[in-house]
Every structure is written in structure tokens, then in C-alpha cells.
């Protein structure tokens, strides 16, 4: 049987095709094209190539996935090589995985050729990197299309503090923004909506989360658009404008939280970070003034690295201080299991209180991975009502094992 390729055509600009994609396109006998592919890219197909449009734009009904696969098989069995061309990357919201499975089920070997995905290319056109040291530890690609059961968990996504790159989200933007705000994301979070990225028709709106939907509507930004949400958007400089020499910094929130942590040996700084972020919910690490733990654990390299990473003071608590704190707060949970491992009846709750003298309010979330985290709020902080109060049973405290 002849060759079959699943090719990513990139976001639109033909220059952003890969060399591998160009070569495959040049030799394919049949090219099956999706709706988002720039017609200019089809000039790279050889003169012999039969071009078949299977997308739904321009008023035509889209060809069902089943028929596309049947069509590919028909040409392949007739000895023709087939290139299946998709926008962006075939494996990012492109249903490429489904087509691959269907062809593999028929015993057809398929070569996958990656393309540059719109979620990276669109922000790049504005000088926005999806990750940037000091602003975010990562980026999440998510569909905005789903509703009901397919709806992404926007609350959980907001809590990560990572860049959100939303595909297919422009029609549901009002709803998405409302849910992120409700989840505690700052209304000042910088956002961009970028339509037809990398094409001459590209347009964009850059606005804070609170006004993004209204500004997108006013500018009539439509599909296809990528929405980028997160601090990296503060680096944006639209084409033709100079890069910002001074990156506008968001005013730092007051550091009104303290964290008590118990953990077993061998945890990594990243695991500590994930656990603390989970416990903080919508609050950011920038709000944490101090981390505290049992004195003999305070030199743990993972904990030290985590505190240095976020400029958080590290407080050591002696067992006697912890027991005194527990005696002063009879309602705090205590555990014989924890005692057996650490010599004190609890670690994270008393340490959180000891880290910020005067703090009384407490919220805790067991975060797993052998790590327990408790958050104390300093008196007068406006934040305490938002913290999650979902302490787990003591028996699940497996710190310090
Ligand atoms: N496989 C594609 C995504 C297909 S899903 C990729 O990797 O890029 C279709 C969605 O992709 C659109 O709704 C839009 O959110 C995004 N998209 C694709 N091309 C785009 C472009 N040139 N500009 C902005 N968004 C684009």
C-alpha cells in the first residue's frame, strides 16, 4: 500500500510549515484538506495532486470523520499516496488521534508530521511567550468549546496559576471569563484574544479578564481565535509596536498567609509546590509570608529550594513550641500516628499558626504525595473567607514517613 501522512499545516502563515510537511505535500497524489488550512499552502502540492476539501467552512457541510477515513483508504488501496492536511498540529484538538486509530485499525501505517499549533503561534505574534521564568511555571491548552459534562473545570484551572491557552473558546468567552472570576482569578489578569493569527487578516484584543468579553464583542473578534489568559500577556507588544522595555508588574498582593507543612523524606520541590498551590486554592504563592515546619525537617533541600524559589521565609518550629501551640488550640486535629513518626501530635496546623504570630484563622487541605499543608491567615486579611476548609481525616496524614 502507498504512503499515508497526517500533516500539521501550522497556524496559517505558509512559512510556518515544517520542511517535512512541505516534502510530503509535494509528493502526495491526494491531499485531503481541513477547513482551517490556508489555501496558499496548497500551492506546495505537486501538479499531479488531487485536492479534496473535507472541512465545513464556506457553507459546505463537513465530511463525517468516518467518510474521511473511508476516502483515504479508497485512495491508498488504489495505490495513491495520501496526505491528510490539518490546521496547526494534527494532535492538538485536531482529531488526528482518532484518524490515526481508524487507519491503524485497517492496518494502514501512517506517518505523523507535527505542525506549529495555534496556541503557541498566536501569542508569539504578539511577543507573548506561553511560559516565562518568573511569571508562570507552565501553560495549559484547553478547549473552550465544551459545555455540560465536557466543560473544563475552570475552578481547578484557575487554581494552577499557569497560563491558560483556550482553543475554540471565543463563542463561550462570557461564560468562561465569568467562571474564572468566580473561581477567584484576579479581574486584572492580562488576557489576549487573537483571531486568524499569523495571517494578514490577524486582529487581536488585549484586555484584563474583567473587560475582555465586552472588548472582544465590541471589536467583533470571531473564530478562529486563541484566548491567552495569564501574566505572560503583560509581555505583549502587538505587531508594529515596540517591545515593552519595562514589563508592567502587577502590584504584589499583601503577604498575609502562612503555611505549615509536614512531609515525608524524598519529596521534591515541585511536589511541595503542587501541594501548597492546591491548598491555596485561588490564592497565589505571592501572598505567602512564611512557611514553617518541624525544626529537624527545615533543612530539607526540597523545602529550602521551594522557599527560595518564591522568596518565602522559612520558619523552624521546635517540638516544645508545637505542643504548646496545640495545648493553646484544643480544637486543632492531633494524631497518634503523626506522633509516632515525628514526636509531636500534629505538624502542619500548629506550624502554620507559629509561622505568623497572632494568626488565628486556619484553613487546611490535605494535598497528598506524602505532604500535608495547612494555611493560617493573619488577622485583618481580607482573604480568609475564600480559603478552602476541607481538612481530611487525621488517618490520612502520612507526613514524615
Ligand atoms: N489543530 C489545531 C487546532 C484545531 S481546533 C492547532 O493545533 O492549532 C480549532 C481552533 O484552533 C480554533 O477554534 C482556534 O481556537 C484555533 N486556531 C486555529 N488556527 C488559528 C489561527 N490561525 N488563529 C487563531 N486561532 C486559531
DSSP-assigned letters across all residues of 59-71: TPPPPPHHHHHHH
Q: How many CA within 13 A on the CB side of residue 346?
A: 28
CB atoms < 10 A from the CB of 390, how many?
11
Statement: residue 81 has pLDDT above 60: yes
Identify the DSSP state of 244.
P
Q: Measure 295 CA to ligand 1 centroid, in angstroms.
A: 51
pLDDT at residue number 281: 77
Res. 56: pLDDT tops 70:
no
Task: Please state the rounded mean pLDDT for residues 21-41.
Answer: 93
Q: Ligand 1 atom 5: the closest Cα is on which residue?
A: 93
- Alpha carbons within 13 angstroms on the beta-carbon side of residue 301 total 2
Secondary structure string (H, E, C) spanning 300-351: CHHHHHHHHHCCCEEEEECHHHHHHHHHHCCCCCCCHHHHHHHCCCCCHHHH
Tell me if 307 sits within 8 A of 291, measured CB to CB.
yes
pLDDT band at 182 (very low <50, low <70, confident <90, very high): very high
Residue closest by Cα to atom 11 of ligand 1: 167
Catalytic position from the list 13, 17, 29, 34: 34
Contact 397, 264 (CB under 8 A): no
Catalytic site residue 13? no
Average pLDDT, integer, range 201-206 = 95
pLDDT (tens digit per residue) in 34-46: 988 999 999 999 9
Output the CA 21–ligand 1 centroid distance in Å. 18
Is 86 a known active-site residue? no
**pLDDT higher than threshold 60 for residue 23:** yes
Could you tell me whether strands 203-208 and 190-195 are parallel, antiparallel, or unpaired per DSSP bridges?
A: antiparallel
Least confident of 197-201, 237-241, 384-388: 384-388
Share of the chain above pLDDT 70, in %: 87
* Distance of CA 57 from the midpoint of ligand 1 (Å): 13
Contact 7, 83 (CB under 8 A): yes
Indicate the SS3 state at residue 291. Answer: strand
Q: Is the pLDDT of residue 393 over 80?
A: no
Give 158's contacts (C-beta < 8 A, 6+ positions apart): 180, 183, 184, 185, 282
Q: Mutate which of 14, 128, 167, 223 to test ligand 1's pocket (most atoms within 8 Å of Cβ)?
A: 167
Closest ligand 1 atom number to CA of residue 89: 7
pLDDT score, position 248: 52
Q: Ligand 1: which of 38, 118, 141, 168 to mutate, most ligand atoms within 8 Å of CB?
A: 118
Q: Averaging pLDDT over each range in 120-129, 283-292, 357-366, which range is the top one?
A: 120-129
- Ligand 1 centroid from CA 228, angstroms: 13
Q: What share of the chain in percent tops pLDDT 90?
A: 64
Q: Is a pLDDT exceeding 80 seen at residue 173?
A: yes
Average pLDDT, the chain: 87
The owner of cell 482569578 is: 185
Domain ranges of the chain: 4-116, 119-235, 257-377
Q: Check whether 74 has a pLDDT greater than 50.
A: yes
* Ligand 1 atom nearest 86 alpha carbon: 1
pLDDT at 93: 93
Rounded to an integer, what distance in angstroms lies between the CA atom of residue 401 and that of residue 394?
14
Looking at residue 246, its pLDDT comes to 54
pLDDT in tens, 85-104: 999 999 999 889 989 999 99
Picking from 82, 87, 55, the residue whose alpha carbon sits closest to that of residue 70 is: 82
CA angle, 181 then 186 then 188, to 5°: 115
The CATH architecture assigned to 4-116 reads 3-Layer(aba) Sandwich (3.40)
Q: Which of 1, 168, 270, 295 is catalytic?
A: 168
Q: Which CATH superfamily is domain 119-235 in?
A: Tetrapyrrole methylase, C-terminal domain (3.30.950.10)
Q: How far is the CA of 195 from the centre of ligand 1 (A)?
A: 9
pLDDT surpasses 60 at 59: no
Residue 152 has pLDDT above 50, yes or no: yes
Kindly tell me if the per-residue pLDDT of 395 is higher than 60.
no
DSSP H helical ranges for 117-236? 118-125, 154-160, 173-182, 212-218
> Could you tell me the distance, in angstroms and rounded to a whole number, from the CA of residue 117 to the centre of ligand 1?
7
Residue 394 has a pLDDT of: 36
CATH label, 257-377, candidates 3.30.420.180, 3.20.20.150, 2.40.30.60, 3.40.50.2300:
3.30.420.180
Joined together, the cell numbers standing for residue 377 give 491567615
pLDDT given for residue 322 in this prediction: 94
Mutate to test the pocket of ligand 1, among 56, 84, 88 (most ligand atoms within 8 A of CB): 88
Instruction: Report the distance separating Cα 384 and Cα 388, nearest Å.
Output: 9
pLDDT of residue 370: 86
Residues 290-318 pLDDT 10s? 999 999 999 999 999 999 888 899 999 99
Confidence check: pLDDT of 366 > 70: no
β partners of residue 366: 372
Is residue 34 annotated as part of the catalytic site, yes or no?
A: yes
Confidence of residue 118 (pLDDT cuts 50, 70, 90): very high
Determine the pLDDT at residue 378.
82
* Span between the terminal Cα atoms of the chain, in Å: 58
For ligand 1, which residues put their CB under 6 angstroms from it? 11-12, 36, 86-89, 92-94, 117-118, 122, 167-168, 194-198, 223-226
Q: Which three cell numbers stand for residue 220?
A: 467583533
Amino acid at each position: 500500500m502507498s504512503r499515508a501522512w497526517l500533516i500539521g499545516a501550522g497556524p496559517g502563515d505558509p512559512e510556518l510549515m515544517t520542511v517535512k510537511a512541505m516534502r510530503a505535500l509535494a509528493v502526495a497524489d491526494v491531499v485531503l484538506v481541513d477547513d482551517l488550512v490556508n489555501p496558499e499552502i496548497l500551492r506546495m502540492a505537486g501538479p499531479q495532486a488531487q485536492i479534496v476539501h473535507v472541512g465545513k467552512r464556506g457553507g459546505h457541510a463537513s465530511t463525517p470523520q468516518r467518510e474521511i477515513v473511508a476516502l483515504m483508504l479508497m485512495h491508498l488501496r488504489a495505490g495513491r499516496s495520501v496526505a491528510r492536511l490539518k490546521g496547526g498540529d494534527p494532535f492538538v484538538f485536531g482529531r488526528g488521534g482518532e484518524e490515526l486509530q481508524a487507519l491503524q485499525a485497517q492496518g494502514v501505517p501512517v506517518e505523523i508530521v507535527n505542525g506549529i499549533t495555534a496556541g503557541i503561534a498566536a501569542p508569539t505574534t504578539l511577543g507573548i511567550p506561553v511560559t516565562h521564568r518568573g511569571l508562570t511555571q507552565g501553560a495549559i491548552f484547553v478547549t473552550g468549546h465544551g459545555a455540560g459534562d465536557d466543560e473544563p473545570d475552570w475552578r481547578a484551572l484557575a487554581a494552577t496559576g499557569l497560563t491558560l491557552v483556550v482553543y475554540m473558546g471565543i463563542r463561550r468567552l462570557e461564560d468562561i471569563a465569568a467562571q474564572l472570576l468566580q473561581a477567584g482569578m484576579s479581574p486584572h489578569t492580562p488576557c489576549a484574544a487573537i483571531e486568524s493569527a499569523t495571517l494578514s487578516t490577524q486582529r487581536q484584543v488585549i484586555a484584563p479578564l474583567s473587560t475582555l468579553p465586552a472588548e472582544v464583542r465590541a471589536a467583533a473578534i470571531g473564530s478562529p481565535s486563541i484566548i491567552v489568559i495569564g501574566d505572560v500577556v503583560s509581555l505583549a507588544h502587538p505587531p508594529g509596536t515596540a517591545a515593552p522595555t519595562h514589563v508592567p508588574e502587577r502590584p504584589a498582593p499583601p503577604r498575609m498567609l502562612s503555611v505549615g507543612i509536614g512531609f515525608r523524606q524524598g519529596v521534591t520541590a515541585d511536589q511541595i509546590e503542587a501541594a501548597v498551590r492546591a491548598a491555596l486554592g485561588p490564592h497565589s504563592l505571592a501572598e505567602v509570608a512564611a512557611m514553617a515546619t518541624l525544626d529537624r525537617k527545615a533543612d530539607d533541600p526540597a523545602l529550602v529550594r521551594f522557599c527560595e524559589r518564591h522568596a518565602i521565609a522559612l520558619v523552624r518550629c521546635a517540638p516544645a513550641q508545637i505542643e504548646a501551640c496545640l495545648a493553646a488550640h484544643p480544637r486543632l486535629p492531633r494524631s497518634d500516628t503523626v506522633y509516632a513518626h515525628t514526636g509531636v501530635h500534629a505538624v502542619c496546623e500548629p506550624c502554620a499558626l507559629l509561622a505568623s504570630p497572632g494568626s488565628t484563622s486556619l484553613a487546611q487541605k490535605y494535598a497528598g504525595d506524602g505532604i500535608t499543608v495547612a494555611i493560617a491567615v493573619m488577622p485583618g486579611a481580607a482573604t480568609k473567607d475564600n480559603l478552602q476548609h476541607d481538612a481530611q481525616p487525621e488517618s490520612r496524614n502520612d507526613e514524615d514517613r
